[in-house]
Amino acid sequence: MQHVHLGRSGLRISRLCLGCMNFGPETSEADSFRIMDRALEHAINFFDTANVYGWKVGEGITEQIMGRWFAQGFGRREKVVLATKVYGRMGEWPNQARLSALHIKRACEDSLRRLRTDYVDLYQMHHIDRETPWEEIWQAMEHLQQQGKVIYVGCSNFAGWHIAQAQEIAKSRRVMGLVSEQSLYNLRDRTIELEVIPACEAYGVGLIPYSPLAGGLLAGVLERTMVGRRASEDLRKEVEQHRPKVEAYEKLCGEMKERPADVALAWLLLQKAVAAPIIGPRTIEQLDGSLRALQITLSSDTLKRLDAIFPGPGGPAPEAYAW
């Protein structure tokens, strides 16, 4: 397993991030434990979750599962770079969501309790909060850092100008600010190449792409039996909408003798600012299979063909749409 710095920080993370969103809703606790153990065997040390995962308001089901895994000991917590998130609704009262200083404080303490740990390595804002001033947000994050409950701060689903705004205000407060941004990014969804990626590069923010397989569209959807998630109505519509592109993509992967999912991950690993794509295995077999992406070399010709099939926005703004 390769390990790289997360953005401009000194923190070293595995080039694949174990996304734990399926733990609970899709994957049993016992299987979740086995997947996390196997991840450590592969030297995957970067685990990502969120307080809302499990999708029962206020329960933090996925964090609880991970907490029970950490509680088994044997260095599990010490080996893991643990990332969780704050923003989502955790109750019905007014201050049980978003990024007020009050909610950040309470949400962090609740996550620590569920995760059975004293600190979170990477605390990520799950979404931009346009109703809370940055001075309040940074004050809350600084307080958690001073208490040793949070080591690094990241964000998710931010626009490029949100990253710039956050970093400039952090700079004025003489704090490090953001070290990571978690964004939707894959061969099909490339909008962030316009402004988010340039902002990440300019401010030394590591990019953590989620949904690297576009919800299954890039996972070999045509060559496999349409079962499970691949049989969902939404995915069937996606396939029909993008069928010529998917057919061309799977044909190219066939010529390479590589699985489409592995090619999609290998492409992400080559993109600017990308630190670690998030993989969300539901089984150990899916986790093991993901490692193939680290060995794939994409030639310049292959990259051109991929760009022709799934063209991006044309590069960074404003050149992508203006002179």
Q: Which of 227, 144, 156 is nearest to 185 (CA)?
A: 156
Active site members: 53
Rg of the chain in Å (alpha carbons): 20
Rounded to whole angstroms, the Cα distance separating 159 from 275 reads: 18
What's the half-sphere exposure (Cβ side, CA atoms, 13 Å) at 251?
A: 8
294 exposure class (CB count in 10 Å sphere: 0-12, 13-18, 19+) = middle
Do the Cβ atoms of 28 and 62 come closer than 8 Å? no
Residue 12 makes CB contacts below 8 A (sequence gap 6+) with 3, 4, 5, 6, 45
Q: How far is CA 151 from the centre of its chain?
A: 18
Token digits of residue 159 = 């626009």
CA angle 321, 301, 305 (to 5 degrees): 55
Backbone angles phi, psi at 39, to 5 degrees: -55, -45
> Concatenated DSSP letters for 171-197?
HHTTS--EEEEEEE-SSS--GGGTTHH
Do the Cβ atoms of 22 and 280 come closer than 8 Å? yes
Rounded to whole angstroms, the Cα distance separating 224 from 217 reads: 11
DSSP 39: H
Rounded to whole angstroms, the Cα distance separating 315 from 182 reads: 19
